[in-house]
């Protein structure tokens, strides 16, 4: 192999290492930002899911739904629900369905604002086309390995 035909250093780098490093950096940054508004990542998942879902669900339904596609067991989601309920950000109706309170909606709004800033920080200097290509490549690799390549699949 001649130097002109040698692969670039980027093409021989281990994808597992770089995706792990990226994951660690992004999650650390995101969790730090959420901690600044007294939220954990699992608490954010619960707030976001309840706010986005037009049909109220029970605690068990949220535990199953969120634990199925996030790196957290049902007990982590359950603790998040308990904490948010104790804060008065969630209520439980007579059928056991979870609902956001006004305080919960306000907290969700604060988190959305913080996470928009976090996204901008993470994406600084990265054109949207490059970001989209990166996700497409990662999803293709995941499919190649038989994993779930769609969000919430």
Q: Is 42 exposed, middle or buried (0-12, 13-18, 19+ CB in 10 A)?
A: buried
**Per-chain mean pLDDT for the chain:** 89
For residues 92 and 61, give the distance between their C-alpha atoms in angstroms, rounded to a whole number.
Answer: 13
Does the reported pTM lie above 0.95?
A: no
* CATH numbers and ranges of domains, the chain: 36-118 (1.10.10.10)
Residue 106 phi, psi dihedral angles, 5° rounding: -65, -45
Give the bridge partners for 84, in sequence order.
Answer: none
Average pLDDT over residues 148-153: 67
* Poorest-pLDDT segment among 2-16, 46-60, 72-86, 109-123: 2-16
Q: What is the torsion angle, in degrees rounded to the nearest 10, for the CA atoms of residue 128, residue 129, residue 134 and residue 135?
A: 70
Q: How confident is the model at residue 153 (pLDDT cuts 50, 70, 90)?
A: very low
Average pLDDT over residues 62-71: 79
Cα first-last separation, the chain: 43
Is 142 strand, coil or helix?
Answer: helix
Given this model, what pLDDT does residue 7 score? 56
* Residue whose entry in the numeric block shows the structure tokens 């192999």: 1
């Amino acid at each position: 192999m001649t130097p002109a035909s040698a692969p670039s250093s980027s093409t021989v780098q281990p994808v597992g290492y770089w995706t792990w490093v990226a994951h660690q950096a992004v999650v650390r940054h995101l969790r730090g930002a959420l901690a600044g508004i007294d939220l954990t990542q699992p608490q954010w998942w619960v707030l976001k899911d309840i706010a986005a879902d037009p049909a109220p669900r029970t605690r068990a339904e949220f535990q199953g739904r969120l634990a199925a596609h996030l790196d957290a067991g049902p007990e982590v989601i359950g603790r998040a629900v308990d904490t948010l309920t104790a804060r008065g950000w969630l209520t439980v109706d007579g059928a056991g369905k979870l609902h956001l309170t006004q305080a919960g909606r306000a907290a969700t709004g604060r988190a959305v604002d913080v996470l928009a800033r976090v996204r901008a920080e993470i994406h600084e200097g990265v054109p949207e086309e490059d970001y989209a290509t990166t996700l497409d490549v990662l999803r293709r690799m995941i499919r190649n390995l038989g994993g779930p390549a769609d969000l919430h699949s």
